[in-house]
Chain A
Amino acid sequence: MREVAVVGVGMTLFGKHTETIRELGEEAVWAALQDAGMSPKDVQVAYAGNALGRISGQEMVSGQMVLREVGITGIPITRIEDACASASFAFRESWLAIASGLYDVAMAVGYEKMTGATTAQIMEALAGASDTELEADLGITFPGVFAMVARRHMYQYGTTREQIAYVSVKNHDNGALNPRSQYQKRFSIEEVLASRPIASPLNLLDCCPISDGCAAAVLVAKDLAPRYTRKPVWVAASGQASGFFEPGSDVTVLKPTIAASQSAYKQAGLGPEDIDLAEVHDCFTIAEVLHTEDLGFAPKGEGGPFIMDGNTAIGGRIPINTSGGLLSKGHPVGATGLAQIVEIVEQLRGQSGHRQVQGARAGLAMCLGGFMHSDAGVVAVHILKA
């Protein structure tokens, strides 16, 4: 396998946009190309992440439609759908395309347009990331999925409602330092607990918002990197695992996260103790508690107190979701995985301003797509190095 560098990243502001995915895509992809100082004609292959085409209306060939806007045409372009992790796998396939030796330059892009639909329509569409026959048609919702996880985590480990709420407080604190975050507002634990009930025990401020946005990254083979940047960020590892769906599985332990991260740590020759910062899939507060444990940053069951003690705040032992995470930065589903990559790349280049993790050399991005039969659908774990 060849070494692969990220030489350009770009993203739109996340939030409510009047722009279409065509316009959002043009902005972020062009920004990534500009960041790399690259002509669109240098791109040899592209992967596009998008999940909710049924909401935007562009259910098919959206990759070609978006990339046409910047003159990336003619080359192989493939759209990838893996729910919230769609863009993570656009990134992984881009890496694989180059690491395998087949191509030298790849574009990974992810985009989503969610606002404009009603919350009920969004919940119905997102429930499509479960088993639609046996779960969604019977009423499952994603806030409900993670509410069930939260209830079990509290029951098994004594995790408190305040500890879970604190994830939202911390991530909104970080989002307030990120100009591209959908929310620039801080909340207290009391405000999270007093926000509107959504699915017991979770409230509105335990849930990520509905968002529009696009993120993109340009990857190249090692020998081409100096042509585009003086600060390449290396893809040290790419891990992927799917749900195991074992009977009676413990919903507080997401085995695909463990499998994907073990694979990634091994590839990178690093352990959780070597990671300087992580972006993890905090679609709901409790999810970050699970990931903090399953990625090996805290022992199983101790994620709640570990986070509450400040270990994952900026300046803590392992800062998590310095971007604000999905909870504050926003969650345009098909763009999220690449927005995580954008944050890690900028942190490793020392470009993150007031939320900079000083001296960061290794960053991890973890994204989860779908959930069914009490296990995650699919998980991506990437490790990047300066």
Chain B
Amino acid sequence: MPETESTENSRIINEKWFTETPQGKALAGSRCRKCGRTYFPRKRVCVQCFEDGRMEDVALSRMGRLYTFTVAEAGPPGFTLPYAFGYVDLPEGVRVFSPLGGDFARLEIGAEMEMAIGPIRQDDGVDVIGYIFKPV
């Protein structure tokens, strides 16, 4: 069973955050057709030009650059320590808060990151599946 479907032992954190592309799951955003500002997750009203009803669905880039990050040695229940998180800037002008995976030693500001899908925490023994950015 691929990790991109909800099962008895896992669930997708929020189906609405994702869209299918030929390359696999991508983050599902909205792009304002009037001013071009792009958002994640999807939304209805553009807060740059206040245009309503002219958003189009877009699949966001799976690649981005790491704006900043931390490796946490303490955290809320459900996270396996240590775990990493940070902000990733996507080429569409969207900054996404994301769990980070891969080799933590390779995390640095400006690093090129690629989105993956996988477990981000446990909730009552169920894996919660979400997006994770990893250094390329």
**What residues of chain A have their CB less than 8 Å away from a CB belonging to chain B?**
119-121, 123-124, 127, 131, 133-141, 143-144, 147-149, 151-152, 155, 196-202, 247-248, 251, 373-374
Contact = CB atoms under 8 A, between A and B. Distances in A.
B72 A120 contact: no
Nearest to B13: A137
Contacts of A200: 70-71, 73
A290 to B, nearest CB: 14
Nearest to A207: B74
> Which 3 A-B pairs have CB atoms at the shortest separation, nearest pair first?
A124-B76, A147-B70, A148-B68
Interface of B: 13-14, 37, 41, 67-77, 79, 83, 85-87, 89, 93-95, 97-99, 109, 120-121, 130
A143 B82 CA distance: 14
A197 B71 CA distance: 9
A151 B70 CA distance: 8
A152 B68 contact: yes
A247 B97 CA distance: 12
B76 A123 contact: yes
Nearest to B41: A134
Given A119-B74, A120-B74, A143-B72, 12 more contacts: A121-B77, A124-B77, A127-B76, A138-B98, A138-B120, A139-B121, A149-B68, A151-B70, A196-B73, A200-B70, A247-B95, A373-B97
B79 A139 contact: yes
Specify the main secondary structure of chain B where it touches its partner.
strand
A198 B37 CA distance: 36
A373 to B, nearest CB: 7
B99 A138 contact: yes
B43 to A, nearest CB: 12
A331 to B, nearest CB: 16
A356 B5 CA distance: 63
A134 B13 CA distance: 10
Nearest to B104: A200
7 contacts: A120-B74, A120-B76, A148-B69, A148-B86, A155-B109, A248-B89, A251-B68
A213 B25 CA distance: 48
B94 A247 contact: yes
B87 A148 contact: yes
B116 to A, nearest CB: 14
Given A152-B67, A155-B109, A247-B37, A144 B72 contact: yes
Given A135-B97, A139-B75, A151 B41 contact: no
Given A138-B130, A151-B68, A199 B95 contact: no
A134 B70 contact: no
B85 A140 contact: yes
Contacts of B93: 247-248
Nearest to B38: A247
A213 to B, nearest CB: 23
B95 A141 contact: no
Given A137-B13, A139-B99, A374 B87 contact: yes
Contacts of A149: 68
B76 to A, nearest CB: 4
A139 B109 contact: no
B85 A143 contact: no
A196 to B, nearest CB: 7
Interface centre among B37, B41, B72, B73 (most CB of A within 10 A): B72
B69 A138 contact: no
Contacts of B121: 139
